[in-house]
Amino acid sequence: MAEPYQRQSALAHLGLAARAAADREKSDAGVQLGERAFPGQLNLRGDPGNEEFMDAASGTVDCVLPTVPNTSAGEDDLEEGPRVLWLAPVEWLIVTAAGAEEALAGELVAAAAGCGGSVTDVSDARTVIVLQGPNARDVLMKGCPLDLHPDVFRPGHCAQSLLARAAVILYRRADEADGSASFEIHVTRSFADYLWVWLEDAAGEYGVQVIEV
């Protein structure tokens, strides 16, 4: 991890905090956008057929590692605990609250390394853009080939795909209080600026409100 005083989020140059403050009273926006900076992210690899590994890893992250493709386990609210996304048959992404990843990585290494597991801290590889609101799905559908029908890509589902030709990991959170969908888009740092600009352009017709996440 970079020294905290040198650390800048991938979208720091856009001044999103000031824009969020200016947009606070906005109520007619169809889409809300924000950056969740410094998400803790750990890449975990291991054999799901190895019970010792599954028990050790699942015990450390307080949930059973998901083995059904495109699903997740753990907490929707990261302040409550880590969330585990299925990436591949032998690979998971563990998402934590900012700053919680280092301690968890240490625990995971201690628990899973002895039974064929491998843990890599990839927190600085990607940032997370939060996209929510009544038209959030419409915006995604403009650039993502996934089947995003609400009955198919449900809360808790995740997928690796392309969004406007940028490689992303998409996660659908629990719906907002008003019933509208909410997504988290993990995107590599180097594509974050491009994707943010694309999202804002694609969402322009619905009205955009920048939010603090």
Partner 1 sequence: MLLITCPWCGPRDEIEFSCGGEAHITRPSEPEALTDEAWADYLFNRTNPKGPHAERWVHTHGCRRWFNVLRNTATNEILAVYEMGKPRPDGEGS
Residue closer to partner 1 (CB basis): 29 or 87: 87
Q: What is the 3-state secondary structure (H, E, C) of 83-98?
A: EEEEEECCEEEEEECC
Q: Give the whole-angstrom CA distance, residue 150 versus residue 145.
A: 15
Residue closer to partner 1 (CB basis): 59 or 89: 89
Shortest spacing between CB 69 and partner 1, in angstroms: 5
The strands making up 118-121's β-sheet, listed across from edge to edge, are: 72-74, 83-88, 91-96, 40-45, 118-121
Where do we find the tokens 């038209």? 135
Here the tokens at position 27 are 């109520």
Shortest spacing between CB 66 and partner 1, in angstroms: 13
Q: At what angle do helices 101-112 and 51-61 cross, to 10 degrees?
A: 160
Residues that bind partner 1 (CB under 8 A): 69-70, 87-89, 91, 145-147, 159-162, 167
Q: What angle do CA 27, 33, 39 make, to 5 degrees?
A: 135
Residue closer to partner 1 (CB basis): 26 or 45: 45
Shortest spacing between CB 91 and partner 1, in angstroms: 8
Residue closer to partner 1 (CB basis): 18 or 194: 194
Shortest spacing between CB 157 and partner 1, in angstroms: 11
115 vs 43, 90, 107, 118, 127, CA distance in Å? 16, 14, 14, 9, 30
Residue closer to partner 1 (CB basis): 161 or 180: 161
Shortest spacing between CB 51 and partner 1, in angstroms: 21
